[in-house]
Structure 1
Amino acid sequence: MTGDGEGDDEIIYVDLSKLPPSVLTLIFTINSFQGDTFDKIENAYVRLLDIDKNTELARYNLTESGSHTGLIMCSLSRRSGEWQMKAIGLKSTSRTFREMMSAIASCL
């Protein structure tokens, strides 16, 4: 598996303004569902962008960070109506976010 090509292979957009007020925190994770460790995937990285400001808020180079299959990337938390980002970078051997739930809960 490789990250051939240029740019992002997969993109997830989140419009924070459309989330209900009851949503206070989002935790962003990345997992290798097939169980391939990130050090075996060429050019693997994950990043969080603010599209409106065209700014990269967080970036992790997964290929260079060891033989793990999951990463808790960051959290976005709503405080007094404003969203605040916290970089986490917690590695995991989990293949799904469900397997990561205890680690995710510790980040809340």
Structure 2
Amino acid sequence: MVANGSCVINMMCDLVDGKGDASIIEKRLTTHDRFKDKIEYIPINEKLIPPGPLTFTLNIMKYVKDERLANDFADFVCGTEGQEIFEKHGFTSIYSARGLELIERFGVKDV
């Protein structure tokens, strides 16, 4: 299977459903409720993995259809409850000591 989609969760569902043989995935997906105990994984030698942290951004497009809803979602993601969900799935909260250190190091000031 060659997956050209934009959603790793959909790709993982296809793998679990037997539509593919192998994939390189983030380790956090091995503990995801939908995939836990349904896949086997082999860790990649850490020497082959780029040094972290790997970051991502949350953006609201200028052509968004419902700007208020988009802003509410962004507020949720950046809020306490959203950050707790991210931490549960292996991400570093922007409010944790490590998160604050990374924000300072990378110069992100709009959080």
Q: TM-score, normalised by structure 1?
A: 0.28
Question: Does 1 or 2 have the higher relative contact order (CA < 8 Å, sep 6+)?
Answer: 1
Greater percentage in strand: 1
Q: TM-score, normalised by structure 2?
A: 0.28
Greater percentage in helix: 2
CA radius of gyration, larger in: 2
